[in-house]
Amino acid sequence: MSDGLVLAVDTATDSVVAGVAALHAGEVRVLAERAVADHRRHAELLTTLIAESLTESGTARTDLTAVVVGCGPGPFTGLRVGMATGAAFADALGIPAYGVCSLDALAAEADRDVVDAGSRTLVVTDARRREVYWALYEGGRRLRGPEVAAPAVVAEELAPDWSAGRIRVVAGSAAHLESAGWTGAAPAIAVPTVRGLTAAAAAGIGAGRMPEPLVPLYLRRPDAVEQKDRRAGAAR
């Protein structure tokens, strides 16, 4: 297994997340982490948060051995900031960039202390337009998703799990989880974390596996394209 220092970034939600973690034999130790909720300033904040994390952890850029990037699902504008920045860091340093589903990162953090292998974890985040991004997990494996749908559709899809009490852990947006059927306590994990992001990529990093190209999980076309298409249709 390879060990090393990992830079992790995510801009798939309204929060900008960046930090440095040490990965050793599959175990993740967070050395520095920043998370700022401001969906309008992803590009402005990210490089600053990366610099602060490197300084706090005492890590030089040349000490990094890998970059982990949350690839969504998320909004087009915010998501591309994190992916472009992470890819640029990796390219400049000549190190691999591992893309992970941001919902997987949320689940990995939420499941850290789960001992019941039969319980399921639901992750729900805000997709705007009265919709949510969601995925369902069991034993660290993704069973469904990532998908985008109205909360009522998610609630209907998960009705058997709700009635059987199989979903015992949740992560993401409290309001949107509630609208999808969750009636328990608010989730402890609301946005991707450095630990979760690194854990989601740990198997590939530890094995020294070459990562796949970074591919954003938009799940739907950006607003600008849809508006352009609507104008074109009206003109026709």
Residue 16 has a pLDDT of 97
150 in the same domain as 211: no
How far, in Å, CA of 19 to CA of 29, rounded?
11
170 in the same domain as 79: no
The CATH number of the domain holding residue 201 is 3.30.420.40
> What amino acid occupies position 37?
A
How far, in Å, CA of 74 to CA of 127, rounded?
7
Residue indicated by tokens 């297994």: 1
**Count of other CB atoms within 10 angstroms of residue 198:** 29
Q: Is residue 171 in a domain?
A: yes
91 in the same domain as 202: yes
Q: Total structural domains in the chain?
A: 2
pLDDT in tens for each of the 236 residues of the chain? 467 999 999 999 999 999 999 999 999 999 999 999 987 888 899 999 999 999 999 999 999 999 999 999 998 888 999 999 999 999 999 999 999 999 999 999 999 877 676 789 999 999 999 999 999 999 889 999 999 999 999 999 999 999 999 999 999 999 999 999 999 999 999 999 999 999 999 999 999 999 999 999 999 765 544 444 445 444 44
The CATH number of the domain holding residue 128 is 3.30.420.200
211 in the same domain as 158: no
Residue 151 has a pLDDT of 97
97 in the same domain as 196: yes
Residue 222 has a pLDDT of 53
| Domain range enclosing 143 | 113-179
Residue 115 has a pLDDT of 62
Burial 120-147 (b: 16+ CB within 10 A, else e): bbbbbbbbeeebbbbbbbbeeebebbbb
166 in the same domain as 199: no
Residue 105 has a pLDDT of 98
DSSP string, 167-195: EEEEEE-HHHHHHTT--SSPPS--S--HH
CB 137 within 8 A of CB 101: no
CB 161 within 8 A of CB 171: no
- 144: tokens are 């469904």
Residue 3 has a pLDDT of 76
How far, in Å, CA of 10 to CA of 124, rounded?
16
Residue 227 has a pLDDT of 47
Q: If DSSP codes are grouped into helix, strand and coil, which group holds residue 111?
A: coil
Q: Half-sphere exposure of residue 16, counting CA atoms within 13 Å on the CB side?
A: 23
164 in the same domain as 129: yes
Provide the greatest CA pair distance for the chain: 60
How far, in Å, CA of 6 to CA of 31, rounded?
10
- 233 Cβ contact list (under 8 Å, min separation 6): none
